């Protein structure tokens, strides 16, 4: 029974192939091979393999058909058969550098199998030391493996030929960025664009690199080219373009790109969130919070998103704010801004001891982190640790003497410790700097306190600050 089924399948296969050829083609391996290539070009891999098989049956020593069949098998997820077919192809034609380069490149980069692909690429370079495809693919493999030195050597060899393409120069730039040589990467992208001035991929790559280098003026020129070419038409393109404008300090251009989208696209979560950020919002409107939370569903481990939600909820829902900031801090434990945000949310919930511990740790690692000092001062003040609060407020007054409210809290802290002369000095500094409108409430409190305080000092009450 099994033999009959096998014969039927074989007959069906031949009939199916015959239906796609004329009678003459069935006996001509070259014609069958060409038919296979036509099907291959249309991505009809199953049909292509059938034609290649038929060609090889008629002409067993046919390395080109073996090679093309191996490529078709590779992208049909039949990797073992593909490797066997490739071995047969190069056994028939051992010096075929092109085959080694193309198969190794597809295996290593397109299908992410460097273990099998790297030896094949090295053989290609052994046969043809200037093979651009093999050099570029092997550079990719070595860069992914963390071997930046060899990756650089290979990519520079690939561009040493006068025939090097813009794509090869772009790849070299990518590897140079990974190696930390941004100036060299910029020169490589300039070479790529000298070869292909309208290569939008290279223009995009150069714009981002110029932004990294702080050359916003040149970056904007490239960004405008991208916009003119239509990059901002789709939601994704507009989002990327707006972010680049934002990095270049052109928020008005970024908003213009987003506002040009159709209304339905402007309501996309990422667009709503970015518009709020560009307009200086903190995500505090219900619409903006909903957009941020929708984005978080797609990217639950996005620490920046978690922190933005922490900021958005800090005043309206401290518990939610704590949770978001805590999760952001867990993902990036060394990010001072996330830790400070978490501490600020804890202060909002009056969990002062925990906030103080976090903020002291931040200041140990980043002594000049101003926001950490201001939050620590507040947490200590609210905990009635007035001595600790005075130390922090003195640091703040030294760092930014124009922040008026610092002297108000400094005075109250001294006052609570009965350090009346120091309190009077701080109150007077506050009054000298205070704004009659925005600081009216504090001014009124100080004016009520000062006559009594001066009388206490006159009568010798209070104590000097401990040295």
Q: How confident is the model at residue 37 (pLDDT cuts 50, 70, 90)?
A: very high
Model pLDDT for residues 124-166, shown as the tens digit of each residue: 999 999 999 999 999 999 999 999 999 999 999 999 988 899 9
In a domain, 114, yes or no: no
In a domain, 436, yes or no: yes
Total domains in the fold of the chain: 1
pLDDT, mean over the chain: 87
Tell me which residue of 273, 303, 275, 271 sits closest to 290, measured CA to CA: 273
Query: Whole-angstrom Cα distance, residue 62 to residue 456?
Result: 108
pLDDT over 70 (residue 345) = yes
Which pLDDT score, from 0 to 100, does residue 281 have? 60
Q: How confident is the model at residue 289 (pLDDT cuts 50, 70, 90)?
A: confident
CATH assignment of the domain containing 445 = 1.25.40
Which pLDDT score, from 0 to 100, does residue 4 have? 28
In a domain, 19, yes or no: no
The whole-number average pLDDT for the span 165-176 is 94
Query: Whole-angstrom Cα distance, residue 72 to residue 381?
Result: 72
pLDDT over 50 (residue 453) = yes
pLDDT over 90 (residue 175) = yes
Residue with tokens 């300090």: 249
Q: How confident is the model at residue 284 (pLDDT cuts 50, 70, 90)?
A: low
Tell me which residue of 72, 123, 79, 84 sits closest to 101, measured CA to CA: 123
In a domain, 322, yes or no: no
Exposed e or buried b per residue across 380-412, where buried means at least 16 C-beta atoms within 10 angstroms of its C-beta = bbebebbebbbbbbebbbeeeeeebbbbbbbbb
Of 71-85, 137-151, 201-215, 268-282, where does mean pLDDT reach its minimum? 268-282
Residue with tokens 């004329």: 22
Domain of 453, in residue numbers: 393-467
Contact criterion met (CB below 8 Å) for 289 and 311: no
The whole-number average pLDDT for the span 373-378 is 94
3-state secondary structure of 145: coil
Q: How confident is the model at residue 9 (pLDDT cuts 50, 70, 90)?
A: very low
pLDDT over 70 (residue 122) = yes
In a domain, 444, yes or no: yes
Token readout for 100 is 């080694």
In a domain, 442, yes or no: yes
pLDDT over 80 (residue 288) = no
Token readout for 449 is 């306190």
Query: Whole-angstrom Cα distance, residue 36 to residue 30?
Result: 10
3-state secondary structure of 357: helix
In a domain, 125, yes or no: no
> End-to-end distance of the chain based on CA atoms, in angstroms?
103
Integer CA distances (angstroms), 443 to 121, 415, 447, 450, 453, in order: 77, 16, 6, 10, 15
Q: Which residues contact 324 (CB under 8 A, 6 or more apart)?
A: 306, 307, 309, 310, 313
In a domain, 459, yes or no: yes
Helices 63-74 and 45-58 cross at an angle (nearest 10°) of 150
The whole-number average pLDDT for the span 95-99 is 93
């Amino acid at each position: 029974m099994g033999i009959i089924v096998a014969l039927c399948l074989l007959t069906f296969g031949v009939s199916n192939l015959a239906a796609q050829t004329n009678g003459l083609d069935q006996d001509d391996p070259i014609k069958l091979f060409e038919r296979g290539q036509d099907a291959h070009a249309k991505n009809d891999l199953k049909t292509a393999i059938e034609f290649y098989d038929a060609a090889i049956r008629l002409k067993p020593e046919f390395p080109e058909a073996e090679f093309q069949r191996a490529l078709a098998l590779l992208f049909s997820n039949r990797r073992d058969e593909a490797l066997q077919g490739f071995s047969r192809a190069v056994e028939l034609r051992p010096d075929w550098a092109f085959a080694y380069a193309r198969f190794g490149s597809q295996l290593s980069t397109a299908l992410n199998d460097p273990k099998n692909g790297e030896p094949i690429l090295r053989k290609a370079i052994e046969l043809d030391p200037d093979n651009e495809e093999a050099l570029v693919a092997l550079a990719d493999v070595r860069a992914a493996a963390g071997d930046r030195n060899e990756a650089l050597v290979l990519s520079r060899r690939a561009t040493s030929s006068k025939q090097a393409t813009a794509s090869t120069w772009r790849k070299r730039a990518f590897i140079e960025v990974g190696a930390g040589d941004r100036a060299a990467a910029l020169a490589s992208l300039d070479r790529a664009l000298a070869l292909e001035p309208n290569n939008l991929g290279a223009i995009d790559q150069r714009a981002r690199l110029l932004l990294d280098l702080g050359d916003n003026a040149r970056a904007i020129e490239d960004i405008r080219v991208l916009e003119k070419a239509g990059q901002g038409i789709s939601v994704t393109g507009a989002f990327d373009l707006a972010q680049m404008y934002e990095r270049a300090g052109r928020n008005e251009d970024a908003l213009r790109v987003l506002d040009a989208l159709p209304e339905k696209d402007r309501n996309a979560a990422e667009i709503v969130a970015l518009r709020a950020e560009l307009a200086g919002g903190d995500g505090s409107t219900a619409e903006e919070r909903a957009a941020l939370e929708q984005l978080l569903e797609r990217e639950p481990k996005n620490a920046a998103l978690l922190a933005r939600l922490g900021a958005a909820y800090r005043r309206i829902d401290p518990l939610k704010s704590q949770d978001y900031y805590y999760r952001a801090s867990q993902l990036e434990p060394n990010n001072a801004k996330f830790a400070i945000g978490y501490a600020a949310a804890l202060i909002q919930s009056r969990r002062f001891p925990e906030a103080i511990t976090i903020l002291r740790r931040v200041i140990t690692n980043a002594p000049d982190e101003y926001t950490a000092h201001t939050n620590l001062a507040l947490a200590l003040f609210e905990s009635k640790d007035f001595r600790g609060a005075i130390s922090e407020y003195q640091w703040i007054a030294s760092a930014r003497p124009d922040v008026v409210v610092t002297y108000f809290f400094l005075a109250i802290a001294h006052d609570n410790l009965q350090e009346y002369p120091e309190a009077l000095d701080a109150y007077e500094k506050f009054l000298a700097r205070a704004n009659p409108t925005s600081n009216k409430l504090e001014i009124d409190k100080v004016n009520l306190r000062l006559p009594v305080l001066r009388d206490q000092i006159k009568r010798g009450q209070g104590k000097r600050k401990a040295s």
